[in-house]
Amino acid sequence: MENQTQHEYDQVIARCRQLFLAKTHDYGTAWRILRLPSVTDQIYIKAQRIRSIQEKGVQLVADGVEEEFVAIINYCIIALMQLGLPPEAPLELEPTAVAAAYDAQVAENRRLLFAKNHDYGEAWRQMRIESITDIILMKLHRTKQIEDLGGLTRVSEGVEANYRDMLNYAVFVLIKMGLGDSGS
């Protein structure tokens, strides 16, 4: 099962990466202007829309739920890249540097995924997509609370851990939706 998950994970991330780098070509690194709470709010908007569509059973805007989960993944990677950049980093980054930073964050998330998958035995495969959406929303509320506390927590992991978990949960959903299949 682990090889299957690795393959599916890589397929989903490849799709997200392709879109991210295409947008980097079109927009540059305009996302660099966003402070971390703004990135968190962008992820929140996407997750809340997904939940709204799940509850209503209908959508009026063309972008589908799959695209919103892709956006969550890419915004989580933006947040992780922002966390890793020094304060004096320029707003406009070279495309090769963006691709390398994207790949570095994905590699760390992939490592985390397989460590957790080992311990949890791929329990995510038995979860409902709606439950995963709720978990992402819960992690967003946690992240917002940590941000509101100025990052000062007593016992909790910081925002980085929450972004990493949200990223992996969004990948799980896309795998469950069939985007990790070879034919995608």
Which residues have CB under 8 Å from 181's CB, separation 6+? 8, 11
Phi, psi angle pair for 50, to nearest 5°: -60, -50
- The Cα–Cα gap between 135 and 169 comes to 8
- C-alpha distances in Å from residue 34, one per residue of 81, 125, 133, 161: 12, 34, 24, 19
Return the SS3 of 7: helix
Amino acid at 56: K
Dihedral sign, CA of 113, 42, 98, 63? Answer: positive
**Model pLDDT, residue 184:** 45
Question: Running along the chain, 184 residues long, what does each successive block of 10 average in pLDDT?
Answer: 87 98 97 97 98 94 93 98 94 97 97 89 94 98 96 91 97 93 57
- The Cα–Cα gap between 184 and 64 comes to 16
